[in-house]
Chain A
Amino acid sequence: MLLIDPSKKICFNRCIRDGDLAIVYEKHDTMKAVKVCENSVFQNRFGLFKHSDWIGKSFGSKVFSNKGGFIYLLAPTPELWTLVLSHRTQILYIADISFVIMYMEIVPGCLVLESGTGSGSLTTSLARAVAPTGHVYTFDFHEQRAALAREDFERTGVNTLVTVGVTDIQGEGFPDEFSGSADSVFLDLPQPWLAIPSAGKMLKHDGILCSFSPCIEQVQRSCETLRLNFTDIRTFEILLRTYEVSEWKMDCSKVEDGGSVSPPGKRRRQSSSEGSVRDNPSCPAVMARPSADARGHTGYLTFARLKCIS
């Protein structure tokens, strides 16, 4: 997935090969991660797809089933991965992920500590941000989840940039070997204030900590603990509103001020070559409106910088 090896760049000449990870796109909210295998098949409601048909085609191609239905094959990116990965825990989505990476000032070469790993959604994006010379050390206290995460990182090809450890960070803190060497620390724990002192020891001066908590009480306790050794403490909430777009066919005859717009589909749009009837420039044919479904809350993001004492 990640372009650590420039020869594996996705480009015009690069085709799907046996063993590649592909994202099968059925429609906007229906996608699946599939490993391409010479002899395998993929089945869905559009029919049966042979992987061998896929090999040799470009990513982004349309491929057909035995019944004539089709899907698209996309190259994996951390964003697509977040949408298709299997949820073992609640995950972070693109709005929080992109804000965290920006606000923690993560650039190539950084060393980032994370706990807990969960399903590895954020971890994959962190790996992208630190590539090719940085590293992400992520910890989870659940052995099975850590193992599944390791498998996922191998599948997506970020395993050279991510190391998964099984440790109870809340109880024991981060391992001493990282003291003073982390550029950023990310916490997604039920009681982050227990891990904050240890995080403070791991960070370089002016390094940034971020804590993600769904509940405001957690945020309050975390901020109290942060005030001891951290500065520039800020808490945010970020959400994404999506829009739907549709085309309206409307009567565009010239009307007096306050003209009405007829409902879609009722009348046909008159041709603009007729002299008497002109397109009313204030009635666009394409309209956008917010989607009916919206996310109300994911969690609060608290950022802080380690104070410089020297």
Chain B
Amino acid sequence: MSESKPESGPVINPRVTWEGCSVLLDINDGDRLVFARLSAGSTLKIGNKSCSLQPLIGCTFGSLFQVEIGKEKPYLSRFVPPTDDSNVQDEGGSQLQEESRDNRAIIDNNQAQTLTGEDIDAMRRQGATGNEIVEALIANSATFDKKTQFSQEKYRLKKQKKYAPRVLLRRPFCRSICEAYFKKYPARIGFLRVDALSLLLSMANATANSDVLVVDMVGGLATGAVAERLGGSGSVCSTYLGGTPYPTEIIRMFNFSDEICKTIMLFKICTFFHFSSEFCGVPSMTCAQFKMKPVSESANMKMTIQWREKTSLSVGTEDVYLSSKNGDTDLVPENKLSSSSKTCKAPKAGEKAPKQAIQSWKENGFSSLIIAAPEQDAWGLVKDLLPLLTYSAPFAIYHQYLQPLATCMHNLQLEKMAIGLQISEPWLREYQVLPSRTHPCMQMSGTGGYILSGTRMYTDTSQS
């Protein structure tokens, strides 16, 4: 055991906000998630009012704020929750009494509350705090005492969320970014759920000092996740087919330091082949020749079109989807915010790969491969990228659909390119844990996609 107090390394995960950092605002305990960039001018809209985000600058991540609707404007004030000893004791005490109340006599006719909207506005004008309004509503409810204890808690919570909403300041990390997108815009990240993403990172052994080759068609989420795990050492080569790189707006939300941003590099696949052909015996291909080789051309075309249709369908139905807390979630699109202040530009990731890096990749190979291209043919990508990996390097491929991965796995076996192949489907369920009310949550995600993982074998090109 060490004698002196241990120190963690250089501050890679700062715990206090600063001007210009990107944050994740959690409103009312997960009901609504908003990404924002903190500056003097940025605001947050709650209900139909806007609050300035300035009070959040310089605060610790994890701080809680409450919206106070003052006489002039609503503002966010730091809220320190009381230590809950008294609450817990009450809960324990009343659990001993049997709950004798039930809802047989409660009629839902909208007449239980005697305070009107005007009364509440009047209270606000006189400077009542959100909590005082909630207490007043409870006092003026005819049915409150008839409710069961659980029902009373639910009622109080509902009123508090409306009249005294709370905002939690969260650090955007891979986990929270992925969860937020999966909730609101899952199509943008190819329905990559947080547990599937975590499996990709583990199975591909993303770690410090490794050189990871990434095909990221999920908005930059996979690239950002890998860069986070690398922590500034090694490199992330984000590669793409065709002329333009894929959109990577999500990377900007990670708050990466310059050190980490430097590890994220862009490199085009077909350029690669000109280099690697000298080493791995892979025939060089021009851009035009680099096409997916499907079972039949028309079949591939059909599949691509169907996938696109499916995506637009799922975006439509997604709007109707209710989160488990029956709330609305929204993500403020990044371009809306960046205009707010010129001084708050995030450091740029994804510069073109320098010659030095390319040389290193050529000589050593990549230490792992991650493909998150949920609308492409997996085999088409893998057969050309796998030879760029060093021997015994692990890889992990994510896809929304099972069939392309099954075909890919089969072909890898036939061509003897990899071993340890496995197709996995992650299953994730959340639980509600409360006294006498513990059960799995009512809603859960139906799918997080599929992952094909394996290890590249050594292929001796001198023998056949």
Seen from chain A, the residues whose Cβ lies within 8 Å of a Cβ on chain B are 2-4, 6, 9-13, 25, 28, 57-62, 72-75, 77-79, 94-95, 97-99, 101-103, 105, 107-111, 125, 128-129, 131-135, 137, 163, 165, 175, 177-178, 181, 183, 204-206, 216, 219-220, 223-224, 227-229, 231-243, 245, 247, 279, 281, 284, 286-288, 290, 300, 302, 305-310
Any A CB within 8 A of the CB of B281 = no
- Nearest chain A CB to B14's CB is how many angstroms away? 11
Q: Does B314 contact A (CB under 8 A)?
A: no
| CB-based nearest A residue for B368 | A77
Q: Which of B12, B197, B233, B423 contacts A245 (CB 8 A)?
A: B423
Known: A12-B363, A108-B230. A102 touches B12 (CB 8 A): no
Contacts A11-B367, A108-B232, A308-B60; A242 near B422 (Cβ below 8 A): yes
Q: Is B151 an interface residue (CB 8 A)?
A: no
Contact A94 B203 (CB under 8 A): yes
A227 / chain B contacts, CB cutoff of 8 Å: 84, 87-88
Residue contact A60 to B456, C-beta cutoff 8 Å: yes
In the complex, A305 Cα to B173 Cα: how many Å?
A: 14
With a 10 A CB-CB cut-off, give which of B9, B394, B426 has the most chain A CB atoms: B9
Asked whether, in the complex, the Cβ of A237 is within 8 Å of the Cβ of B429, the reply is yes
* Inter-chain contacts of B60 with A (CB < 8 A): 205-206, 308, 310
Interface residues of B in 440-458 (CB under 8 A from A): 440, 450, 455-458
B320 at the interface (CB under 8 A from A): no
A-B contact pairs, 14 of them (CB 8 A): A2-B207, A10-B392, A28-B419, A58-B391, A61-B391, A78-B202, A78-B205, A103-B175, A163-B2, A240-B199, A241-B427, A245-B406, A284-B295, A308-B64
Q: Are B438 and A25 in contact (CB under 8 A)?
A: no
- Chain B residues packing against A (C-beta within 8 Å): 1-2, 5-13, 15, 60-64, 80-81, 83-85, 87-88, 168, 171, 173-175, 194-195, 197-199, 201-203, 205, 207-210, 228-234, 279, 295-296, 298-299, 302, 363-365, 367, 390-394, 402-403, 405-407, 409-410, 419-431, 433-435, 438, 440, 450, 455-458, 460
Query: Is A11 a contact of B435 with CB atoms below 8 Å?
Result: no
Select which of A60, A95, A135 is within 8 A of B426 by beta carbon.
Answer: A95
Given contacts A102-B201, A108-B12, A109-B8, contact A13 B80 (CB under 8 A): no
Do A108 and B9 touch (CB < 8 A)? yes
Q: Kindly state the separation between the CA atoms of A160 and B61 in the bound complex, as whole angstroms.
A: 31
Given contacts A94-B202, A98-B202, 5 further A-B contacts (CB under 8 A): A59-B392, A107-B12, A111-B6, A240-B426, A242-B423
Give chain B nearest CB distance to A196 CB in angstroms: 13
Question: Which of B7, B198, B421, B434 has its CB near the most chain A CB atoms (within 10 A)?
Answer: B198
A229–B80 alpha-carbon span in the complex (Å) = 12
Q: Is A105 in contact with B175, judged by CB distance below 8 angstroms?
A: yes
Residues of A within 8 A of B8 (CB): 109-111, 133-135, 181, 183
Asked if residues A10 and B435 are in contact (CB atoms below 8 Å), the reply is no
A109 touches B391 (CB 8 A): no
Chain A residues within 8 Å of B231, by CB: 107-109, 133
Contact in complex: A107, B205 (CB < 8 Å): no
Is A79 touching B210 in the complex (CB atoms < 8 A)? no
Bound CA span A78–B431, Å = 29
Task: Report whether B457 and A133 are in contact in the complex, using a CB–CB cutoff of 8 Å.
Answer: no
Complex: A129 Cα to B84 Cα, angstroms: 34
Pairwise interchain contact B392-A206, C-beta atoms closer than 8 A: no
Residues of B within 8 A of A11 (CB): 363-365, 367, 390
Residues of B within 8 A of A290 (CB): 425
Residue of B195, B228, B402, B419 ringed by the most chain A CB atoms within 10 A: B195
A175 touches B208 (CB 8 A): no
Residues of A within 8 A of B433 (CB): 219-220, 223, 233, 235, 302
Cβ–Cβ < 8 Å partners of B299 in chain A: 281
Residues of A within 8 A of B302 (CB): 281
A10-B390, A59-B391, A227-B88 given as contacts; is B233 within 8 A of A288 (CB)? no
Distance A118 CA – B360 CA, assembled complex (angstroms): 39
Q: Which residues of B contact A28 (CB under 8 A)?
A: 419-422
Q: How far is the CB of A165 from chain B (nearest CB, A)?
A: 5
Q: Name the residue in A25, A60, A231, A309 with the highest tally of chain B Cβ atoms < 10 Å from its Cβ.
A: A60
Q: How many Å from the CB of A279 to the closest CB on chain B?
A: 7
> Quick one: closest B residue to A61, CB to CB?
B458
Interface centre among B7, B173, B205, B403 (most CB of A within 10 A): B205
A79 CB, nearest partner CB in chain B, Å: 6
B430 close to A236 (CB less than 8 A): yes
Chain A residues with Cβ below 8 Å from B455 are 60, 74
CB distance from B445 to the nearest CB of A (A): 11
A60-B455, A308-B60 known; A9+B367 contact, CB < 8 A: yes
Q: Report if A238-B457 is in contact (Cβ < 8 Å); known contacts: A107-B229, A111-B6.
A: no
Q: How far is the CA of A75 from the CA of B389 in the complex (A)?
A: 13
The CA-CA distance from A129 to B13 in the complex, in Å, is 14
Closest to B423 in A: A243
| Contact status A239-B430, CB under 8 Å | no
Q: Are B194 and A175 in contact (CB under 8 A)?
A: no
Report which of A4, A98, A165, A220 forms a contact with B208, defined as CB distance below 8 A: A4
Chain B hits for A245, CB < 8 A? 406, 409-410, 423
- Asked if A288 and B423 make an inter-chain contact with CB atoms under 8 angstroms apart, the answer reads yes
Assuming the contacts A181-B6, A305-B62, asked whether A228 and B233 have C-beta atoms less than 8 A apart, the reply is no
B444 to chain A, nearest CB (A): 10
In the complex, what residues of B have CB within 8 A of residue A229's CB? 83
A3→B410 contact, CB < 8 A: no
6 closest residue pairs by CB, A with B: A133-B9, A108-B231, A206-B62, A60-B391, A60-B392, A11-B364
Which of A6, A137, A302, A308 counts the most chain B CB atoms within 10 A? A308
Give the docked Cα–Cα distance between A72 and B456 (Å).
11
